Amino acid sequence: SRNIRLAVIPGDGIGTEVVAEGLKVLEAVGTKIEPTHYDLGAARYHRTGETLPDSVLEELRGFDAILLGAIGDPSVPPGILERDLLLRLRFTFDHYVNLRPVKLFPGVETPLADTPAEDIDMIVVREGTEGLYAGTGGVMRRGTPHEIATQESLNTAHGVERVVRYAFEQAKSRPRKKLTLVHKTNVLSYAGDLWQRTVNRVAEEYPEVTTDYSHIDAASMFFVTQPERFDVIVTDNLFGDIITDLGAAIAGGIGLAASGNINPERTAPSMFEPVHGSAPDIAGQGKADPTATILSVAMLLDHLGLRDEAAKVEQAVADDIVERLAGWAGRTTHEIGDDITARVSG
């Protein structure tokens, strides 16, 4: 089989460090992979003023997948790199499924008291291309006492239905077969109505899947008090952003949370990235946990049909976690990467 063409965007802060470990594992697991590095992020922005040149965007389109570290640096005004680089990639490549497992690995400490590992095992299917992330809105009379600033949430039948269908497929394939829509239908009535009607309609095609609804405020509470309520969650872009960080927190922390920005029709490359940010405060110190990136690599392998390799990486992480209970605090980014690499090579 031909080599996998992988675009690698280490990005900012700890991005570089964790991506290096991800690539090490990817090579060790025995894939024929041909990585091409792209130096997008804060450094390039400062050097050239570019965030994501059109020519680079078109080049990226030709790859089989993208591995991304983290984007964002305090030296760049908030939003520039996020919107013009990260969100532009998600939007241009139609990553309408932002897939984020929330799973407590046995042996990992959760901040929740008395919660057995099996109680935290869900998949959040976050919509990735619309809602408030559309970026539409505006400002009038800026800086005056009469300023008005608006943001618009754009939701389309096309955009909602495709992600809801994906979520039903996920739910169908899992033992519990339960899908929960998370929204705020009692306040966001137009968007909420579209989401709820879509779930109701698609549900008819999936009689084996139990459907459920929770307001985002109640769902946030349940994440902490009854995480076992959830199996598959489908939700919009902003609610998904919030609830997956909360999910990362309850499942042992942002150091373990993986994600895939997926284009299920494969009309453009999907992009895999840890949920965490660039963490400039600990960058360059070898303190970052590369596990979230390594688990994102497992999602990448799975997406490319390399299921055995994906399972091997996941198992290596699970084994590493069980053993880290003893020596966790001591290991550097490199050492964790090396330990997991040794396991997948073995």
Active site residue 241: yes
Residue 61 and residue 269 in contact, taking contact as beta carbons nearer than 8 Å: yes
Nearer to ligand IPM, 168 or 223 (CB): 223
- 82: contact with ligand IPM by CB under 6 A: yes
Question: Does 217 interact with ligand IPM (rule: CB under 6 A)?
Answer: yes
Considering the candidates 38, 96, 133, 166, report the single residue annotated as catalytic: 133
Q: How far is the CB of 200 from a second copy (least distance, A)?
A: 12
Does 50 sit near ligand IPM (CB under 6 A)?
Answer: no
Annotated active-site residue 133? The verdict is yes
The SS3 call for residue 183 is strand
CA pair distance 120, 144, nearest whole angstrom: 48
The phi, psi pair for 304, rounded to 5°, reads -85, 5
Per CB under 6 A, 342 contacts ligand IPM: no
- CA-nearest of 57, 104, 101 to 243 is 101
Q: Which residues bind a second copy (CB under 8 A)?
A: 72, 78-79, 82-83, 87, 109-113, 115, 132-133, 135, 137-139, 141, 143-158, 161, 184-194, 197, 216-218, 220-221, 223-225, 238, 241-246, 248-250, 253-254
Which amino acid makes up residue 151? Q
Catalytic residue of the set 245, 287, 319, 338: 245
Token output for 274: 């840890």
User: Which residue number, 147 or 308, has a Cβ lying nearer to a second copy?
Assistant: 147
Contact 29, 344 (CB under 8 A): yes
Separation of alpha carbons 93 and 220, rounded Å:
30
Residue 149 interacting entry, from ligand IPM, a second copy, none, C-beta within 5 to 8 Å by type: a second copy
Q: State both tokens at 315.
A: 């198992």
Report in angstroms how near the CB of residue 199 gets to a second copy at its nearest: 13
Assess contact for 68 and 9: CB atoms under 8 A.
yes
Q: Which residues bind ligand IPM (CB under 6 A)?
A: 72, 82, 86, 186-187, 217, 241, 275
